[in-house]
Amino acid sequence: MDAALAENIDEEVWTKFIFLSPFAGVTSLFSKNFGEVLSGAESRPMLEGMMKEIKTLAGLKGVSLPGDIVEQSLAKGEAFPPDTKSSMQLDCERGKRTEIEPLLGFVVREGERLGADVPLTKGMYDALRMREELPCADESGE
């Protein structure tokens, strides 16, 4: 097994998180795959905005991320097959408990703790929490 030692684990974790959290939330809320949310008039700006909120939060925690981390994260999403679904979206569709707390709730709580405004992530978190008790729409939107 090949492995690489990260120079700065905090940067690695936040780089992954800035990609994972928005994609998980947006694909779950809109019940759409990566290709659909990346091309959506409402969903793509939401992805970008959430990524910017998380980048700001990382900076407040002393984690330095590349200036183009949002663009890198969007490009990473575009490299996936367009029909890719996030694991949180799949859990939602199957009526299982989701990773909403570690992926979105964490951002909201850290934002509150550090005085950072994260309105897109908070709105996503609140909407998905309300839906947590209801089944998510399937691919047909029903």
Name residues whose C-beta falls within 8 Å of residue 77's C-beta, 6 or more positions apart in sequence.
19, 23, 34, 38, 47
pLDDT number for residue 58:
96
In the block, tokens 């990609």 appear at 19
pLDDT tens for each residue of 4-45: 655 778 899 999 999 999 999 999 999 999 999 999 999 999
Distance CA 22, CA 17 (A): 8
Residue that has been written with the tokens 């809320």 in this structure? 29
The architecture of the domain spanning 9-131 is: Orthogonal Bundle (1.10)
pLDDT digits (tens, 9 = 90+) for 82-119: 999 999 999 988 888 899 999 999 999 999 999 999 99
Evaluate if residue 141 carries a pLDDT over 50: no
Cα dist. 8→13, 14, 42, 62, 72 in Å?
A: 9, 10, 34, 12, 18
